[in-house]
A = this chain, B = another copy of it.
Amino acid sequence: MKSIISSYDLTREEVEEIFQLASKFMKEQKGDSLKGKTVALAFFEPSTRTYLSFNKAVINLGGNVIGFSGAEGTSVAKGENLADTIRMLDNYSDAIIIRHKFDGAAKFASEVTNKPVINAGDGKHEHPTQTLIDLFTVFKHFDKIDGLTYGLLGDLKYARTVNSFLRMLTRFNPKSVYLISPPQLRPRNEFLEELNYPYKIASNVNDVIEDIDVLYVTRIQKERFLDELEYERIKESYVIDLNLVSKMKKDSIILHPLPRVNEIDRRVDKTPHAKYFEQASYGVPVRMALLTKILGE
């Protein structure tokens, strides 16, 4: 029984075991590893996709869910500190899945309770269960994680999904990783120093698209730019359209954590490269596998 706050909390072996189990759950869709157990979903920051897929995963495993999505109207809104809220949930559950707008909230929670805590996204920090789903999609398509060329596109400085993705890749041996973003949205240098695999900085996806096996797209938020005009100027170069897709390797794939807004032209959905809906469909089996690993015994 342990907490999953960061991608670093999982070894390569554990990731591979989770993938084995997830493949099994893809077929069966059910189990009883959470029978008589209750999982608390503490989503201080609202979410549909992540909330519902954890909810469904618990249901499929015979467990019960309690919790909330959105802090308005919770005791938090009344000024309660996070520690007291977590202590409360500790009384009601066997594990706590937390989403919060502050970096480090999940780690903090794990220090307050003895129950396992799963980070479902904390501020600009991490979202490791999303990464498990991302890499499981890669694994299902290529039957491996190693030896591939990855391209991460968009906001590489503030996107927690990107942080968790790049960190979990350190457990594997990617051939190379392209970090494609506007200069002001590049990963921090301290972060880059963590990476134990070859990576290249790029500003224009068109320059490198021919090389890429796995293109991971994230949203670029207008708010990140001091100058809205600059945002307007660059945003086109970060939209995936049929023209860009036409340059991709035959067997390459496009991933996106969803929800997407305009980062991917809807016409791309019908191309064989578009794997983001399949990726979304792995949310439940992968989370069933993780929950079984953590609470199953």
Contacts and interface: CB of A to CB of B under 8 A. Distances in A.
Interface in A113-170: none
Contacts of A53: 91-92
A75 interface: yes
A11 interface: no
Nearest to A64: B59
Contact of A280 (B52, B70, B91): B91
Interface stretch (A76-84, A171-179, A208-216): A76-84
B84 A260 contact: yes
A79 B261 contact: yes
Q: What is the interface of chain A mostly: helix, strand, loop, or mixed?
A: mixed
A66 B59 contact: yes
Given A52-B92, A92-B56, A73 B46 contact: yes
A87 to B, nearest CB: 6
Interface in A89-116: 89, 91-93
Interface bin, chain A: 35 or more
A55 interface: yes
A296 interface: no
Contacts of A76: 48
A137 to B, nearest CB: 13
Given A80-B261, A91-B281, A49 B66 contact: no
Given A48-B76, A48-B85, A52-B88, 9 more contacts: A52-B66, A52-B68, A52-B89, A53-B91, A69-B73, A70-B72, A80-B260, A80-B261, A85-B259
